[in-house]
């Protein structure tokens, strides 16, 4: 809990929620990162313009933060092979679950979607089991 920062976490959560609301009300789109990226890979007519802007904001915001406030210290204690496997599993899981934590966990739960509430519960359960195995069984 040494890195627990409730003010910045609450502010970040509020900004994520606001961005989801703006995209939903402004364009009728669900702010899911896996769907936004997937739509760039297989674009459909009329579905391309908002995606680079959305993803550009995701990449640009931390860069702007670093320029304005300095680069925060980020410590990753896992080995690179573990991070690669984790990334692949997250990608596979988001395809399997027809969405990711941003689409289901933020936008879906806000819309009271039973499918999204179930998916998010399963994401969280899988995360807890994965952390337990990684920390206490494998020892990474």
Q: Where are the domains of the chain?
A: 6-138
Selected residue with higher pLDDT from 122 and 94? 122
For 56-73, give one letter per residue: b (16+ CB within 10 A) or e: eeeeeeeeeeeeeeeeee
Quote the pLDDT of residue 55. Answer: 86
Q: What is the mean pLDDT of residues 13-32?
A: 85
pLDDT tens for residues 2-19? Answer: 667 889 889 988 988 898
Confidence of residue 129 (pLDDT cuts 50, 70, 90): very high
Quote the pLDDT of residue 140. Answer: 55
Quote the pLDDT of residue 97. Answer: 77
CA distances from 131 to 19, 82, 105, 134, 135 (A): 29, 12, 19, 5, 6
The CA distance from 2 to 74, in Å, is 13
Quote the pLDDT of residue 125. Answer: 93
Quote the pLDDT of residue 64. Answer: 92
Max CA distance (Å), the chain:
48
Quote the pLDDT of residue 1. Answer: 56
pLDDT tens for residues 42-90? Answer: 777 777 778 888 888 889 988 998 999 988 888 888 888 888 988 888 8
């Amino acid at each position: 809990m040494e890195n627990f920062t409730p003010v910045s976490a609450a502010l970040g959560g509020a900004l994520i929620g606001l961005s989801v609301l703006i995209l939903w009300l402004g364009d009728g789109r669900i702010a899911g990162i896996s769907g936004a990226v997937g739509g760039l890979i297989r674009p459909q007519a009329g579905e391309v313009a908002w995606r680079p802007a959305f993803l550009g904001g995701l990449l640009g915001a931390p860069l702007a933060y670093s320029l304005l406030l300095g680069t925060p210290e980020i410590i990753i204690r896992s080995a690179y092979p573990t991070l690669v496997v984790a990334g692949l599993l997250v990608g596979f899981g988001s395809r399997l679950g027809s969405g990711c934590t941003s689409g289901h966990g933020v936008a879906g739960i806000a819309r009271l979607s039973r499918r999204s509430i179930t998916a998010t519960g399963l994401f969280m359960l899988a995360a807890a089991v994965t952390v337990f195995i990684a920390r206490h069984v494998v020892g990474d």
